[in-house]
Amino acid sequence: MSAGTLVVVGSVALDSIEWPACGPKDDILGGAATFFSVAASYFAKPHLVGVVGADMPEEHLTFLRSRGVDLGGLERIAGGRTFRWKGRYFGEDLCSRESLDTQLGVFADFQPKLPEAWRDADLLFLANIAPELQLDVRQQMRRPKLVAADTMNFWIEGRREALERTLAHVDLLIINDEESRLLAGTSNLVRAAHAIQKLGPANVIIKRGDAGALLFAGHEIFAAPAFPLSDVLDPTGAGDSFAGGLMGHLAQHLSAGGALGPDAIRRALIAGNVVASFSVEGYGVDRLRSLDRAEIDARFRAFRALTNVPEPR
Amino acid sequence: MSAGTLVVVGSVALDSIEWPACGPKDDILGGAATFFSVAASYFAKPHLVGVVGADMPEEHLTFLRSRGVDLGGLERIAGGRTFRWKGRYFGEDLCSRESLDTQLGVFADFQPKLPEAWRDADLLFLANIAPELQLDVRQQMRRPKLVAADTMNFWIEGRREALERTLAHVDLLIINDEESRLLAGTSNLVRAAHAIQKLGPANVIIKRGDAGALLFAGHEIFAAPAFPLSDVLDPTGAGDSFAGGLMGHLAQHLSAGGALGPDAIRRALIAGNVVASFSVEGYGVDRLRSLDRAEIDARFRAFRALTNVPEPR
pLDDT in tens, A150-193: 999 999 999 999 999 999 999 999 999 999 999 999 999 999 99
List the beta bridge partners of residue B30.
B13
Residues of chain A with C-beta less than 8 angstroms from the C-beta of B256 = 313
- Chains A, B: CB contacts under 8 A, how many? 118
Mean of pLDDT values over A218-227: 96
Cβ–Cβ of B308/A223 closer than 8 Å? Answer: no
pLDDT of residue B2: 83
Other Cβ atoms within 10 Å of A254 Cβ, number: 22
User: Which residue of chain B has the CA closest to A270?
Assistant: B309
Q: Do A212 and B221 touch (CB under 8 A)?
A: no
Show the 3-state SS of A2-67. Answer: CCCCEEEECCCEEEEEEECCEEEEEEEEECHHHHHHHHHCCCCCEEEEEEEECCCCHHHHHHHHHC
For B190, the closest of A224, A229, A258 (CB atoms) is A229
pLDDT at residue A230, rounded to an integer: 95
**pLDDT level of residue A251 (50, 70, 90 thresholds):** very high
- Distance between CA atoms of residues A104 and B64, nearest Å: 65
**Residue of chain B minimizing CA distance to A307:** B223
Residue B219 CB-density burial (10 A; 0-12 exposed, 13-18 middle, 19+ buried): exposed
Q: Which residues of B touch A265 (CB under 8 A)?
A: none
A232/B225 Cβ within 8 A: no
Q: Which residues of chain A are within 8 Å of residue B223 when distances are taken between CB atoms? A: 212, 225-226, 228, 306-307
CATH-assigned architecture of domain B6-307? 3-Layer(aba) Sandwich (3.40)
Instruction: Say yes or no for a CB contact (<8 Å) between A307 and B270.
Output: no
Report H helices in B141-261: 153-158, 160-167, 177-184, 189-197, 238-255
Contacts of A212 in chain B (CB under 8 A): 211-212, 223, 225
Pick the residue from chain A with its C-alpha nearest to B262.
A310
Query: Mean pLDDT in runs of 10 for chain B (313 residues)?
Result: 92 95 91 98 98 97 98 96 95 84 94 97 97 98 97 96 98 97 96 98 97 96 97 95 98 96 95 98 96 97 94 79
Residues A68-100: tens digit of each pLDDT = 999 999 999 999 999 999 999 988 778 788 999
Cα–Cα distance for residue pair B265/A231, rounded to 1 Å: 27
**What pLDDT sits at residue B311?**
85
pLDDT, residue A283, reads 95
pLDDT attached to residue A311 = 85
Average pLDDT score, chain A: 96
* SS3 (DSSP) at B231: coil
3-state secondary structure at position A155: helix
* Chain A residues touching residue B186 (CB < 8 angstroms): 92
Strand partners, B126: B9, B149
CB atoms closer than 10 angstroms to residue A100: 11
d(CA A195, CA A180): 9
Chain A nearest-CA residue for B228? A190
B309 and A307: CB-CB below 8 Å?
yes
Q: Which amino acid is at A256?
A: A
pLDDT at residue B209 in the model:
93
Specify the higher pLDDT residue, A135 or A92: A135
- CA–CA dist B6, A19 (Å, integer): 49
**What average pLDDT does range A6-30 have in this prediction?**
94
Cβ neighbourhood burial of B293 (10 Å; 0-12, 13-18, 19+): exposed
Quick check: B223 and A93 CB within 8 A? no
Task: Please state, in angstroms and rounded to a whole number, the distance separating the CA atoms of residues A219 and A202.
Answer: 9
Pick the residue from chain A with its C-alpha nearest to B195: A230
Comparing CB atoms, the residue among B93, B308, B312 nearest residue A187 is B93
pLDDT (tens digit per residue) in A256-299:
999 999 999 999 999 999 999 999 999 999 999 999 999 999 99
CB contact under 8 A, B267 and A312: yes
Name chain A contacts of B296, Cβ cutoff 8 Å: none
Query: Does the interface predicted TM-score (ipTM) exceed 0.85?
Result: yes
Distance from CA of A145 to the nearest CA of B (A): 20
Q: Least CB-CB distance to A228: which of B92, B223, B231?
A: B223
- Structure confidence at residue B90 (pLDDT): 87
Kindly determine whether residue B306 and residue A263, on different chains, have CB atoms separated by under 8 Å: no
Best probe of the A interface among B219, B309, B311, B313, by most A CBs < 10 A, is B309
pLDDT at A312 over 90: no
CB contact under 8 A, B312 and A303: no
Question: For residue B221, what pLDDT is reported?
Answer: 98
pLDDT at residue A197 is higher than 90 = yes
pLDDT confidence of residue A74: 98
> CB distance B300–A306 less than 8 Å?
no
Chain B residues touching residue A226 (CB < 8 angstroms): 223
Whether the pLDDT of residue A22 is over 90: the answer is no
CB atoms within 10 A of CB B303: 21
